[in-house]
Amino acid sequence: MSRPNAQSMKPATAAKKLDVYLPATPAEFQENPITRGALAALQADPPQWLQDLRRNGPHPKNLVAAKLGISIAGLTRGGVEKALTTEQIDALLEEQPDWLVAERESYQEVLREQRRLKAVRAEQARGD
């Protein structure tokens, strides 16, 4: 039994690796498996549609959350259920709604606690 040399992935996996929102990609991208070579080519020399998508969105939730400085769960708590464009993200950052301010503070507290715990574990590892 022979196997093809070029491994391929589902469009959803390729979209995640490219940090783009799958429903916003061209139909051809959504409907066909993507080889590792094709993915590497897209990363090395992004076509115009990929450049536009990365610049303007809509962006997947992980990028929206990162751009807003909150967690993905914070997006949901804030009522953000769909992908947002760069313009919508910028508007939220400008408006600073109460939920966003609270989520940003909460997220920073979580990050501080993670750093503290990492330092404690490192100290314990040195002491053992």
- Between CA 83 and CA 87 the distance in angstroms is 12
Cβ neighbours of residue 98 under 8 Å, at least 6 residues apart?
Answer: none
Confidence of residue 6 (pLDDT cuts 50, 70, 90): low
- 0.85 surpassed by pTM: no
* 3-state SS assignment for residue 128: coil
Residue ranges per structural domain of the chain: 1-56, 59-128
pLDDT at residue 115, as a whole number: 94
- Between CA 6 and CA 120 the distance in angstroms is 45
Q: E strands along 10-117, which residues?
A: 34-35
Q: pLDDT for 29-61, tens place per residue?
A: 999 999 999 999 999 999 999 999 999 999 999
pLDDT at residue 127, as a whole number: 76
Confidence of residue 126 (pLDDT cuts 50, 70, 90): confident
pLDDT at residue 1 is higher than 60: no
Asked whether 31 and 11 are in contact (CB, 8 A), the reply is yes
Distance of CA 19 to the CA centre of its chain: 5
